[in-house]
């Protein structure tokens, strides 16, 4: 097992490199980079004065004159802007310099926020962790028992009715549920029961500890509910199908023939084997809820987390934030995948990844 872990850790390096290279090529090919956006901003201000308050330190001031193409930009000013953003070097040099910095976990500074990428991630991370962890916990607490119950009562009225709700939950995106929840319970048109923006109230620091806990969870109710409704369907069906597949196997028939009751068969024999595929899906669920799946939820509920940070960075072509967060999220996803494989062995020691690879 030790050699398998070492091989997987070594495989992370080329995988991470390939993902960064592919995204670097795609982003570089996309029109409207930071230089073009800055030039467009200058044109919007009449090409007279430009002030940049972040990323490289200081400000750049320029006035119109000799034109660059049809933009009226001095070539000297253009060269200064390219140096400011690091575009004075060829793409391959910029890429390898970026990788060399990332190996030292130096992700640079945002072009527009005058903050380092690490500072921005640390600032936004608690919001995404709160939303992602609570959503994941509730999804698993609902999906696994519901999936087991559906497998045991396959074809019953309960199975049919719950399947109808699951299909609806799968078909309607989470952000639409978020809007519905705000309309119904967030003071939209009917009941004003739960806060509909932010993770805490404005007077949070003045509250006592019991009040702070209550305020925190009250703010989480609507966004977590929207995440859960949109995310539990797949895991529920996955759990059901996994248990159905195991229930039909010969070892279950043998266990029942020995006189074991339904609970003993289900949780003593079926559970360990059926849960393997559910465990395998956990890294994907975590990464999705933490970094991607909560994007629109964060926007709708004004939650300033990692999803919103990445979305704004993509719109603004804030390359240090884009690639810094991509590197960190990809690395976390690869490590979580390895953790998932190790969990396989804990659940079922009969699994031997080394012999499978051989």
Can you give the residue ranges of every domain in the chain?
33-106, 117-357
Q: Where are the beta strands (DSSP E) in the chain?
A: none
Identify the pLDDT of residue 18.
93
- Identify which of 323, 334, 318 has the alpha carbon closest to the alpha carbon of residue 102: 323
CATH superfamily of 117-357: MetI-like (1.10.3720.10)
179 vs 222: CA distance, rounded Å = 10
Q: What is the mean pLDDT of each run of 10 residues along the chain (358 residues)?
A: 78 91 84 70 52 38 37 64 72 88 88 87 85 86 90 89 86 84 84 85 87 91 86 84 86 84 82 76 67 72 82 83 86 80 68 57
Residue 110 backbone class (left: φ over 0; alpha: ψ -120 to 50; beta: rest):
beta
Identify the pLDDT of residue 47.
43
320 vs 94: CA distance, rounded Å = 12
Q: Tokens 């070097």 label which residue? A: 89
358 vs 353: CA distance, rounded Å = 9
pTM (whole model) above 0.85: no
Identify the pLDDT of residue 53.
39
356 vs 236: CA distance, rounded Å = 29
């Amino acid at each position: 097992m030790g050699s398998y872990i070492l091989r997987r850790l070594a495989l992370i390096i080329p995988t991470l490199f390939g993902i960064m290279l592919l995204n670097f090529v795609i982003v570089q090919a996309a029109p409207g980079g930071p230089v073009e956006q800055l030039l467009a901003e200058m044109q919007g201000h009449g090409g007279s004065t430009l002030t940049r308050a972040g990323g490289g330190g200081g400000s750049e001031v320029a006035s119109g004159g000799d034109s660059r193409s049809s933009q009226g930009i001095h070539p000297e000013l253009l060269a200064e802007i390219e140096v400011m953003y690091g575009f004075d070097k060829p793409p391959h040099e910029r890429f390898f310099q970026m990788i060399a910095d990332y190996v030292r976990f130096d992700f640079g500074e945002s072009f527009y926020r005058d903050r380092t990428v690490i500072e921005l991630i640390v600032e936004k991370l608690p919001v995404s962790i709160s939303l992602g962890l609570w959503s994941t916990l509730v999804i698993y607490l609902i999906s696994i028992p519901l999936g087991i119950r559906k497998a045991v009562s396959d074809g019953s009225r309960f199975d049919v009715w719950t399947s109808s709700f699951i299909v609806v939950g799968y078909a309607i995106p989470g952000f639409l549920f978020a809007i519905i929840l705000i309309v119904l319970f967030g003071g939209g048109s009917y009941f004003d029961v739960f806060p509909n923006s932010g993770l805490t109230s404005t007077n949070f620091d003045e509250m006592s500890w019991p009040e702070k806990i209550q305020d925190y969870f009250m703010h989480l109710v609507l966004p977590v509910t929207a995440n859960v409704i949109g995310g539990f369907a797949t895991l529920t069906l996955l759990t059901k199908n996994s248990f159905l597949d195991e229930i039909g196997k010969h070892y279950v028939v043998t266990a029942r023939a020995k006189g074991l009751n339904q609970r003993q068969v289900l949780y003593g024999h079926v559970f360990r084997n059926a849960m393997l595929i559910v465990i395998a899906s956990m890294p994907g669920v975590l990464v999705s809820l933490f970094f991607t799946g909560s994007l629109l939820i964060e926007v709708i509920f004004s939650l300033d987390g990692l999803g919103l940070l990445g979305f704004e960075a993509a719109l603004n072509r804030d390359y240090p934030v884009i690639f810094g967060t991509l590197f960190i999220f990809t690395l976390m996803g690869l490590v979580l995948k390895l953790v998932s494989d190790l969990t396989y062995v804990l659940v079922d020691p009969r699994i031997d990844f080394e012999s499978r690879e051989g």
